[in-house]
Amino acid sequence: MAFTPFLQGTKAQGIIDNYLNNTAGGLPPFPSPSTNPYIVDSTPYIPPAAQPTPDQPDTSIPNCDELYPGEGRVYDPVLQACVLPDVASDGNERQEFDRDEMLFRQMQRDPSTPFGASNLLDDYQIDSRGGDNIFLRFDPEVNRPGAGFPLGFNILGQLADSFTGGPNRRQNTFNAATQTLADLGYGQQLNNGTFQVFNPQQYFNTVKDNQLGGLNASGGASTMTVGQAVDSVMNPVPAIGPSESGGSPIAEDLSGSLLFTSPLTSVDSSGNRTRNDTAYRAEVARNIERNKRNNPYGVSGFKEGVGFTRGR
């Protein structure tokens, strides 16, 4: 019963409570305001067209799990095909690994190959005589981290360099690269600590007396030298019958690399192309020697009276 501070209010409240609880006058209890004693339970009417039907599979949509088990494909209603779901990137996802790019970068920095050695040594050129004469000398500042940057970056670069072997590491790489070129006959070490890369004529002179390692006209071992084989290419005799020569022609211009400073041809103002015999002769000899190195039996892929049968 609610509390009422006045006497009259308390009596009035008692009369109301007695009525509601059927304790005065024998009247039935007053129904709760939230209850309707006359309500009838019923189910609301829903038109047949709006009534839900059991889920029926669409037989026109293929089962991607059965067609591509284990691939996680889903059906794309636009493409009408089973496709792999797109995976959203959060911006920090690592880029796809490029194996070819990694192998190429390794080749560029490999001092044991002519290609890698040439790329590594290209930064150590010194201009002392000009022309086709190329000389190299080790410089501890070349390729040092931080070299050429402001003082702060320079000091940080020196610290990083010390943890990776410093100038001793670069010196060893330089020595390995020059030794590769020397072993291939591409240059020589001079007494003053300078390495000389041979120009085309100098290289040809170092290999022209080497044995060809090819075949003669009857298919037997050739007695020709590299220089004689090169002369037969420079001044070819027309072949009788079908030619056995294969491979693509030598590139017209190999200039721009440490080992190829002289173009094989030149073009005048009228567009006429002229062969540089000295550079061409050296490159033919280089191809013969390269074929011999790459073949386990030292075969040059060159046949008397025919020319290159492979690897030109």
Confirm whether 228 is domain-assigned: yes
Q: What pLDDT is recorded for position 127?
A: 67
193 and 252 in a single domain? The answer is no
Environment class of 114 (CB within 10 Å of its CB; exposed 0-12, middle 13-18, buried 19+):
buried
* CA distances, 26 to each of 14, 21, 37, 282 (Å): 16, 10, 20, 132
Among the candidates 148, 168, 197, a domain finishes at 197
- DSSP secondary structure letters along 213-234: --B-TTSSB---BHHHHHHHHH
Residuewise pLDDT in 10s, the chain (312 residues): 555 555 556 677 777 776 666 655 555 555 555 555 666 666 766 666 655 566 655 667 778 777 777 677 788 877 777 877 765 445 555 555 577 888 888 888 889 988 889 888 988 988 655 556 789 999 888 877 656 555 455 566 666 666 667 778 888 999 999 999 999 899 999 988 899 999 889 999 999 999 888 877 777 888 889 999 899 888 876 655 555 544 444 444 444 466 666 677 777 778 788 888 888 898 889 988 988 888 877 888 888 878 888 766
Confirm whether 238 is domain-assigned: yes
Q: What pLDDT is recorded for position 227?
A: 92
Q: CA 289 to CA 113: how far, in whole Å?
A: 14
Question: What residues make up the domain containing 250?
Answer: 205-308
Q: CA 90 to CA 92: how far, in whole Å?
A: 6
* CA distances, 242 to each of 198, 218, 231, 235, 308 (Å): 38, 15, 21, 19, 14
Buried b (16+ CB within 10 A) or exposed e, 270-286: eeeeeebeebbbbbbbb
Q: What pLDDT is recorded for position 179?
A: 94
Among the candidates 197, 225, 241, a domain finishes at 197
Q: What pLDDT is recorded for position 137?
A: 92
Q: What pLDDT is recorded for position 187?
A: 92
Classify residue 146 by its DSSP letter: T
Q: What pLDDT is recorded for position 190?
A: 92
Among the candidates 164, 197, 230, a domain finishes at 197
Confirm whether 84 is domain-assigned: no
180 and 234 in a single domain? The answer is no
Helix (H) or strand (E) holding 4: none
Domain tally, the chain:
2
167 and 254 in a single domain? The answer is no
Tokens 């009788």 correspond to 240
Confirm whether 236 is domain-assigned: yes
168 and 217 in a single domain? The answer is no
Would you tell me the crossing angle of helices 226-234 and 200-207 to the nearest 10 degrees?
130
Is the Cβ–Cβ distance between 203 and 139 less than 8 Å?
Answer: no
Confirm whether 69 is domain-assigned: no
190 and 211 in a single domain? The answer is no
Q: What pLDDT is recorded for position 144?
A: 73
Q: CA 117 to CA 264: how far, in whole Å?
A: 22
Residues ≥6 apart with Cβ < 8 Å to 42: none
193 and 228 in a single domain? The answer is no
